[in-house]
Amino acid sequence: MGYHWDLFWMLTRTEFRMRDQGTWAGFVWTLLHPLFIFIILSVLFTQWMGTRVEHYPAYLLIGIVQWNFFSIATGGGLTCLRRKASLIAHHDFPRLFVVLSSVFAVLLSHLLEWLVLFGALVLMDIRPSATWLLLPALILLELALATGLSFLLSVLAVHVHDLDRVWGIALYGLFFMTPVFYTADVIGGAGRRLVELNPMSAIIGATRVLVIGGRLPEFGPLLPVVSLAVVLCVAGCILYPRLTRGVAEKL
């Protein structure tokens, strides 16, 4: 168990540093992307959504930070086996750790982003409340969803070499089906149903209720997300060793 923990931490730390997160300067550079997106979307949509949503800048910022975590974590998870091909070819260890280290490296950045976000929320006149203590549960849920999807995507990417491009296009579509800069009630018809079926919509919506609203979110919309995340993670942990057997020869 100790060896596995040391290996996991070593892979995670290496992945974290490779993403230019090893220094404060590197972390600041990664903050520029969500900040840039926030500025653009805020300029474009504040006049429209500001009258519908109280504390719209905070609403928008939470959506961007959480969406970025999901997008970067699954994108990195998809390519993690290919990026670690040399290590996999020369060392025998559970391939599961490659995916876990990739996602958890992004999680470390995400947690640092939340620290910055908390400061921004206070400046936006959002008062801390007891409900903020439940935020780790929603972060854990998003982590489980991203990890479960990364298990699946990383295996498929070994056999489908253009999958990263396909997933990039899919993420682009999912972004617009996630109420990051708008509210679900402005969408009608089939589009509204797609937004409601998107698991990230439920996670981001519940987080906004906790952080901005200072109250408990409804558990009903989160239940399918919890079920999906559990199924993906359990199936991944059980099947991943079998699915990645012989993967070194294919990379």
Mean pLDDT in residue range 33-49: 89
Per-residue pLDDT, 161: 84
- C-alpha 64/C-alpha 191 separation (Å) is 20
pTM: 0.92
Pick the range with the lowest mean pLDDT from 5-14, 25-34, 153-162: 25-34
Who contacts 235 (Cβ-Cβ below 8 Å, separation ≥6)? 148, 151
Domain-wise residue ranges, the chain: 2-250
Residue 108's identity, in one-letter code, is L
**Is pLDDT larger for residue 242 or for residue 230?**
230
- C-alpha 245/C-alpha 242 separation (Å) is 5
For residue 2, pLDDT over 60 is answered with no
Mean pLDDT in residue range 123-144: 95
Mean pLDDT in residue range 93-105: 92
- C-alpha 204/C-alpha 67 separation (Å) is 8
For residue 248, pLDDT over 70 is answered with no
Question: pLDDT per residue over 42-64, tens digit each?
Answer: 999 988 898 889 999 999 999 99
Question: pLDDT per residue over 198-228, tens digit each?
Answer: 999 999 999 999 999 999 999 999 999 999 9
For residue 90, pLDDT over 90 is answered with no
- C-alpha 64/C-alpha 68 separation (Å) is 6
Per-residue pLDDT, 20: 59
For residue 153, pLDDT over 60 is answered with yes
Per-residue pLDDT, 26: 65
Mean pLDDT in residue range 146-174: 94
Short-list 153, 118, 135, 140, CA closest to 206:
135
Question: pLDDT per residue over 179-197, tens digit each?
Answer: 999 998 888 888 889 999 9
Average pLDDT, the chain: 90
Q: Say what percent of the chain tops pLDDT 70.
A: 93
Q: Which two tokens stand for residue 115?
A: 């620290």
